[in-house]
Chain A
Amino acid sequence: MTLVYIAMALLGLLFIGVPVGFALAGLGAALIALKGLPMAMLSQNLYGSLDNFVLLSVPLFLLMSNILLKGGVGRDLFDAVQKWVGHWPGGLGVAALISCGLFSAISGSSVATAATVGTVAIPEMTRRGYGKGFTLGLLAAGGTLGILIPPSIPLIVYGVITEESIGKLFLAGVGPGLLLVLLFGIYTVIHARFSKTQQRIPKASASERRVATLRALPTVGLAMLILGGIYSGAFTPTEASAVGAAASFVLTMFFLRTLTWRTFYEAVRHSTSTTIVLFLIVVGAKIFGKAITIYQVPGMISDLVDLHLSSVDGFMVIVTIILLILGLFLESLSMLLIMVPVLFPTVMALGVDPIWFGIFFVILIEVALITPPVGLNLFVIQAISSTSLGVISRGVFPFILLMMLSVLLVYFFPQIVMWLPFAW
């Protein structure tokens, strides 16, 4: 019963529009007070949830993405990739997809990836006769790679709350990230075979390729610096985020000369406010998590699971369904922050690998980002393209199916996730 009351109170607060962070924190505080426990629990958790060096990579990766976005590196990247694969059937789509994958390797955010590549790829693709629904769906879905291919803000947050290695989580995201690029790519090429309007673009000459590639090289270099830096052990993920932000600033301000002091300040301001908004949810989720622990809620949930499903299969099916439904309405990171503390004890008890579970969870977050009515990537693509949510949602549907296919593949072939972190 307690479980039902708490869930109803939380959903009530959320749906009347109390900001997510304060709905969690307020309800958590109320639960602690109701149990007659000292409110000192509150103040300590406020401090404790942010006193964390690993979490610091969140604002810094955001800053880096914002600087690159303002510096317009999306165009150079897309141009270069297009010169190599643009003449294939569905070549522009494949180019957009690969650009998303490459940008994902420097951005920790799906929204940034969708916005950066979408801004340049959508007009180009529609001009060449690519269907609106398909184009927008591809960019919305391709953008979600941003949180699977490292660096990734949700993986950082998952690592912080479960105390798993961020380095391992990042490596684990590479395999499934490439798998999704491959699945989306195959679909794009097949789709092109049946399209009557798509125009093939002529194959670029060697010199065209060289010029475009040279311009995109600094951005690719940036990705290598960050990932190479983390995996060679040269620096920690947090240091990598700082070095990345500083390097993007130098790159766009002094070399590409596409950043101005004004747009730089805008990038900083957006990064600060987005971080605060996010950290308030982190803090709220922490307080709420502590409160429900005192009420033994995680125990009740694992008891339910034990009673009704004794197998990992059953548990994963239920978790997938719950996350798909929550993902329709909940903002993606809120979903992670609310659900991981609740599910994690059972995950450990069932012997599911925590690194694998993190990747599984993030793929479902990606799905949440593109399922209507609430999907941040849908909104971003909507803002860029001025198209109705309905058109985008229909276009994105095949990609949701492909993502579900990848969930199945990752479930039946866990090596896709595990080979890199443990083989390296």
Chain B
Amino acid sequence: MLTYIAKRLIYTLPVALGVSIVCFMLVHIAPGDPLTSVLPPDASAQLQAEMRKIYGFDRPLIVQYGLWALKTLQGDLGVSIATGRPVAAELGKALGNTLMLAVLATFIGFVLGCLFGFVAGYFQNSWLDKLASFVSIIGVSVPHYWLGMVLVIIFSVQLNWLPATGAGPGGSADWAWDWVHVKHLILPAVTMSVIPMGIVARTVRALVADILSQEFITGQRAKGLLDGGVFRHVVKNAAPTALAVMGLQLGYLLGGSILIETVFSWPGTGFLLGQAIFQRDLPLLQGTILVLAMFFVALNLVVDVIQSMLDPRVQRA
């Protein structure tokens, strides 16, 4: 067990290093000089050179990377060019909002996905299976930003039941778990949950079908095991993989929240990323992407370790 965790950890380090290099390079693949967005177009050559020195763009790439990585490890993600505030501070609040949304969406998606996937796999090739499979294929095929718009049209524009955008009456600063705020969360969370719902349902269906076709189930049935007992075996065998898929989906939702947050003006990391892109605020873009990607790398590690604890067969594979 411990050797597996150690091995997995050692494998993660170069990946994390690579991810940080890609994030670092983002600023450098951007066309033009990262300074052009802060400086007026008629800035003198002297001012340009000075600013370049302040931001450190005059040194060799490898030195820039080293200094940047050192600062990043200390929690300093630089300063937003557009607002002048530290990137880490801007990110902190947004990350909380996105996490809340993504966790809720993953939970809804996981519960529904397991339900649909289990029904489909258990009653294979029945009309229930066809219906559940159809729902799950819609889940993986629907452009979720469009689904969000359609839900806004139905529940905000036409029925006027739920608010269309934002995270509460007073902006994002004063989130509270009361109805006034929670009703802002419903539409984005439901929209977001469709993706993990479809993927979990497809995974669980395949898992359940596979487990039910195995000989030990037939054997147990022959010995008189009732459906309830079979159900327990199926759950025990399917749970590790299903939970792993759920964990990864949480990471995908965190990283991919930009589209849904744009539709609902939800003040999370995706919204921040959108701002960073349109104001050409490269430090903010770089910092946000780095944090989200590193979160995903860490989540992958945690998911693998938990999965191997639940299911020792994984370690041998």
A and B assemble together:
no
Binding site for A on B (CB under 8 A): none
